[in-house]
Chains A and B, each alone.
Chain A
């Protein structure tokens, strides 16, 4: 128990970051480089935080009790799904670096809106968010994050094996050919984008109580980069990649703690070295290279 007391927060953070890495993995399944996850994560967190602290919802909270937390996940997931659709349908006409930049802009705009609204607490943010289900210790959030991770991984496995998953892969490998085969690319790309958005939103809703406070620093460009690094360092062609990458990279600053101030410098160096020496990601070290997918992931940088 001492171990959980000491490292519980860190362990829960690792699982949480792995989940966020996965939220970026879904659009990548259909070949779309989207950096929008932190936006949906921040939005989900705000939805939960507002439902949990705003006086306007006091009656609802009294009536629902602990079910309020479950409600926050549902509402956050739903709102992110709707916004995901609204943003995804126009934005997913873009490819490669253009989509990445559009999603960066989306995250930035959300951040400035959050900074300037009253309901989000402006620059200060929202604080004093009650602990989910009256949790006493941070490690107990593992009881939320771990099942969510398990469910997400199961879902991902089933998805990848399904007709939809094969359509995703077809679009990733060659969108025009997939289109010619009668797979509507836009519909599937938007679907993949929305799944990622919903996951990020739910993780955000769970994280608002976990972090106890929520503010505009939760969804920033830095986070976009961090999540992308999780996926690419872990491996972008396998669902275990984001999990491994998220866990390891989130742990890295802790592992490097003895190096104190130098740890973020080392963190950056790790990113550089990993992209140089682990082009397939860490998972690439363990998986046999299958013949057809031996060529490196084709990046759609329009030129």
Chain B
């Protein structure tokens, strides 16, 4: 591999890895607070992309129950709001969806002190409902964001290393920048604000936090909102680059996200970022002749890391109850 190829892979890997990171953060936030994995996170990822698509394009699509329904009747050119606003609104709606899921699928179980395994099944049920609802409403079509959503930006960044041109797609730059901004914002909120302090307290020990006057239920809702927001945002960012490949496209990312958080350390926020970048880079560096196995890379890493270092790269060692 020459240097130009190396650089190209590096940039591709950082771009997709940063999306993995914000997606995986949604998982890890919930795990750090509740100790459960929300298997509906992949469905939220898909739904976030659909919501933003609908808001930005103004149509529900060409298939399913909602086909040809115009979201903004009477508006020329589909949608009155631009892509950035649609991205924000779509992700916020995905966050609200996270809140609803917590309210109806997790809280009743928590209130009863039920087996965490049941929360897993419950979230799987939610995922099944969401994915199939998407299929019913807008069909199993592939949706691509119109190429105009990035407005007047040049189509690509290009420069030469020696004789080889390096091409960075504008989409990749945007994905990377947006992810970076979100990561910094989240780091600020969790590390520096009162909300973040309370969240960390709840994650550390809900009972003690509650005694200290922190409303645990409210911070769990906030966590689910943040998680849904991050999941939906990641879904849109990925689909601006590759398109929305049907209702099930969240499933693979959902599983890869698990690899990311285990690699970084379950419940560790910096871990999710490191894990996302590592897996994104590892995938980007898969040699062309093995590209068929690219999708398996994340799972191979997951399996190996569990055997070698189950607490992940940045996780705390698992304390066994004695």
Contacts and interface: CB of A to CB of B under 8 A. Distances in A.
A and B pair up: yes
B129 A272 contact: yes
Contacts of A116: 292-293
B126 A272 contact: yes
B218 interface: no
Given A94-B310, A302-B318, A303-B35, A275 B296 contact: no
Interface stretch (B116-124, B184-192, B233-241): B116-124
Nearest to B64: A261
A97 interface: yes
A279 B293 CA distance: 40
Nearest to B261: A101
Interface stretch (B51-59, B145-153, B224-232, B297-305): B297-305
Contacts of B124: 225, 228-229, 268, 271
Nearest to A277: B108
Contacts of B194: none
A94 B104 CA distance: 31
Which of A104, A221, A270, A303 has the most B CB atoms < 10 Å from its CB?
A303
A223 B114 CA distance: 24
A67 interface: no
Nearest to A229: B121
A232 interface: yes
Given A268-B126, A268-B128, A233 B116 contact: no
Contacts of B278: none
B303 A105 contact: yes
Q: Name the prevailing secondary structure of the A interface residues.
A: helix
Given A106-B303, A115-B292, A279 B129 contact: no
B303 A102 contact: yes
A222 B250 CA distance: 13
Interface residues of A, number: 50
Contacts of B199: none
B295 A112 contact: yes
B117 A264 contact: no
A286 B267 CA distance: 39
Interface string B271-289: 0000000000000000000
Interface of A: 33, 90-91, 93-95, 97-98, 101-102, 104-106, 108-109, 112-113, 115-116, 176, 221-222, 225, 228-229, 232-233, 236, 261-262, 264-265, 267-276, 279, 296-299, 301-303
Ranked 6 nearest A-B pairs via Cβ = A271-B125, A268-B128, A268-B129, A112-B296, A272-B125, A264-B132
23 contacts: A91-B306, A94-B306, A98-B310, A101-B262, A104-B258, A105-B299, A109-B300, A221-B251, A228-B120, A233-B121, A236-B117, A265-B136, A267-B132, A268-B124, A269-B125, A272-B126, A272-B129, A275-B109, A275-B122, A276-B109, A298-B115, A301-B35, A303-B35
